[in-house]
Amino acid sequence: MSSVLVFGASGQLGQCLARVAQERNMSGLVFLPEEQANILNPEGLAKLFAQHQPAYAINCAAYTAVDKAEDELELARRINRDGVENLARLCGEHGTVLIQISTDFVFAGTGNQPLTETDEATPISTYGLTKLEGEQAIAPHTDKYFTLRTSWLYSEFAGNFVKTMLKLGRERDELRIIWDQVGTPTYAIDLAGAILSIIESRSQAYGLYHYSNEGLTSWYDFATAIFELSGTPVRTVPIRTAEYPTKATRPAFSVMDKTKAKTQLGLAIPHWRESLKVCLERLAAAE
């Protein structure tokens, strides 16, 4: 197959893409960590596109430090908006399909119904704002793109909520976890599989999509499931968001409707709890 460039390959999703591509025996993926391919360096990117003439470019590079972003707006904007625009421009010039990863944080999260791609995006954090600006930076340069909004990513790789909970659960007798923020955990291996399935299908149903695992839960219930399924004996106490103040405001309800991804892209999406079991089994096997 023609080459697929993966930007931000050393991060969580990049590592999951490498794992799933290996499992599927997919060739042609070129994994580019930041030191080899900085999305803020247009000249360097142009050389990579000229060298590889990629059919697809997957952008896993992002500024994701949600609280820190409140003090680093310009840096977050450069990475999450300007970097995306750099890629979109080159994708347009080379006829490359861009696959961009976005977030549920583009929503205010004030409702109680699953959010669709046509619902208004009104971010309430710097991180969410810059990711939305990244989404909007694509269309002026190319119409061959898939933007996938996802939520609550975790996996065996990098730092994430599941691994943090397992660590804290071993160290403490009791943990206080927020119960009034509701969303959907997403196993990054599943997201990686969805991305590669889009590529394998050669779909031309370009546009904006929501992708997370099925179901919904609170951070409290997610943590409780992690401890239950892993056999970690720790007491959990539900607390309100107001009892755990953070610099950035999080959406209270950011469950996304995946109907479009399932119908137009043909994606089968597992329930979050089933995927959590798989991840925990893999983490246990690696110990």
CB 92 within 8 A of CB 43: no
- DSSP secondary-structure letter at 111? S
Residue 283 maps to a domain? no
Query: Whole domain around residue 22: which residue ranges?
Result: 4-160+184-214+256-270
DSSP 114-182: PBPTTSPP---SHHHHHHHHHHHTTTTT-S-EEEEEE-SEE-SSSS-HHHHHHHHHHH-SEEEEE-S-E
Residue 203 maps to a domain? yes
Q: Active site includes 244? A: no
- Give the active site residue among 127, 145, 209, 220: 127
pLDDT (tens digit, 9 = 90+) per residue, 237-272? 999 999 999 999 999 999 999 999 999 999 999 999
At 149 the pLDDT is: 98
pLDDT (tens digit, 9 = 90+) per residue, 178-216? 999 999 999 999 999 999 999 999 999 999 999 999 999
Residue 115 maps to a domain? yes
Mean pLDDT of 219-236: 97
Residue 226 maps to a domain? no
Q: What is the mean pLDDT of the chain?
A: 97
CATH code where residue 149 lies: 3.40.50.720
Residue 169 maps to a domain? no
Model-wide pTM > 0.85: yes
At 1 the pLDDT is: 52
The first and second tokens of residue 146, run together, are 């898939």
> In which band, very low, low, confident or very high, does the pLDDT at 287 lie, cut at 50, 70 and 90?
confident
Residue 225 maps to a domain? no
Residue 11 maps to a domain? yes
Please give the tally of structural domains in the chain.
Answer: 1
- Residue 2 confidence (pLDDT) above 80: no
